[in-house]
């Protein structure tokens, strides 16, 4: 086998990995959006979006805990087996990566180690939704064994957030091994084969566990906040008519927030008090994890592309969800395009959500 072969589940015996099945919820109910102007979507994006949104049940594939001996972790989290196979779940485009040679391995780790690494995990939302839930599964698979967790050290500005979120789940500082760029050989390396299907299916039980632990560990009040997540200063997926949107939302008692400037505890405390959240399909929308059940969520997105990440997350949290697709400024940029949203349509969607909130609270709509 060559260095650039990619591990798949059926390759386990060939590359020296042992597999143990993981018991988890494999199906969970899907919630139809309260509103989605899919007719705004262009070309095949409309049919693809409709196909996902009409599902009744989300299905995750079976997952396994894989254990490798003498595996090398390199370049901030990529894995090569003793037989020279790169682990598929850790990297996009694995065939383009050159694994380290044996004489370049500069670090040895004898302790049993669980790898918290997946392609895209430098994104705040993917860390919360796809990596953190694995801690619970690793603990369940090794209830009596002391294990440490290997976590990428970069990007550096995510390290405090990663450390704090791991603390919520009972991981001590001395149980974290920060992965730098130096190739490291592990006597025993454990990883989980799959716990999501991008971007529409996630670990139902794991996400609920992460949400519950954060809300329990971070003090928060019971205010009924209406929050708009601003991407002011962003370089892509910008809402070009944001002043018009903000003007309408402030009339409805929304607070404009920038979660990226807050600590993770501040974000939890803020969103735990939300009754409605509006924002673009940005990583900081993952803060709906901390919002209560029945919090109304609305995502603004360009009309060339689709992003189901927060719709699925809201469904797991039992939060009514609405899409508003707007005109892309550059269709070639797909889901990262700057765009404009229809203020009148936004107002109708928001007002419908506020009316549902009022009915649940036994009040007249504000």
- List of domains in the chain: 6-22+60-213 (no CATH), 35-57+220-361 (3.40.50)
pLDDT given at position 240: 92
pLDDT digits (tens, 9 = 90+) for 246-265: 999 999 999 999 999 999 99
pLDDT digits (tens, 9 = 90+) for 293-305: 999 999 999 988 7
The per-residue pLDDT of the chain, averaged, comes to 88
- Please provide the size of the chain in residues: 366
CA separation for the pair 310, 313 (Å, rounded):
5
Q: Per-residue pLDDT for 94 more than 60?
A: no
Task: Look at 92 and 269; give whichever has higher pLDDT.
Answer: 269
């Amino acid at each position: 086998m060559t260095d650039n072969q990619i591990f798949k589940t059926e390759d386990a015996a060939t590359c020296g990995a042992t597999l143990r099945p993981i018991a988890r919820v494999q199906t969970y109910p899907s919630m139809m959006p309260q509103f989605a102007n899919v007719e705004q979507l262009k070309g095949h994006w409309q049919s693809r979006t409709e196909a996902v949104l009409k599902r009744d049940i989300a299905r995750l594939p079976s997952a396994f805990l894989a254990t490798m001996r003498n595996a090398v972790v390199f370049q901030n989290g990529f894995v090569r087996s003793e037989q020279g196979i790169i682990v598929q779940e850790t990297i996009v485009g694995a065939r383009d990566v050159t694994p380290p040679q044996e004489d370049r391995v500069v670090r040895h780790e004898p302790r049993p180690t669980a790898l918290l690494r997946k392609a895209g995990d430098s994104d705040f939302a993917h860390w919360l939704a796809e990596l953190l839930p694995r801690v619970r599964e690793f603990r369940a698979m090794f209830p009596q064994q002391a294990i440490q967790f290997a976590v990428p050290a970069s990007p550096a500005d995510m390290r405090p957030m990663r450390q704090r979120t791991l603390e919520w789940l009972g991981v001590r500082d001395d149980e974290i091994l920060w992965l730098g760029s130096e190739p490291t050989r592990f006597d025993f390396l454990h990883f989980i084969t799959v716990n999501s299907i991008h971007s529409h299916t996630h670990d139902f039980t794991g996400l609920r566990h992460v949400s519950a632990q954060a809300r329990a560990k971070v003090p928060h009040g019971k205010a009924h906040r209406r929050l708009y997540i601003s991407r002011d200063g962003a370089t892509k997926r910008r809402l070009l008519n944001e002043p018009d949107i903000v003007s309408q939302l402030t009339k409805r008692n929304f607070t404009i927030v920038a979660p990226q400037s807050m600590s993770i505890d501040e974000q939890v405390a803020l969103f735990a008090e939300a009754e409605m959240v509006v924002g673009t399909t940005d990583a900081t929308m993952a803060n709906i994890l901390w919002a209560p059940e029945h919090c109304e969520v609305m995502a603004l997105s360009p009309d060339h592309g689709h992003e189901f990440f927060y719709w699925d997350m809201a469904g797991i949290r039992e939060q009514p969800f609405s899409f508003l697709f707007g005109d892309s400024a550059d269709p070639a940029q797909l889901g990262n395009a700057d765009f404009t949203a229809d203020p009148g349509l936004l107002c109708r969607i928001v007002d419908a959500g506020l009316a549902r909130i009022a009915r649940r609270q036994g009040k007249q709509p504000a």
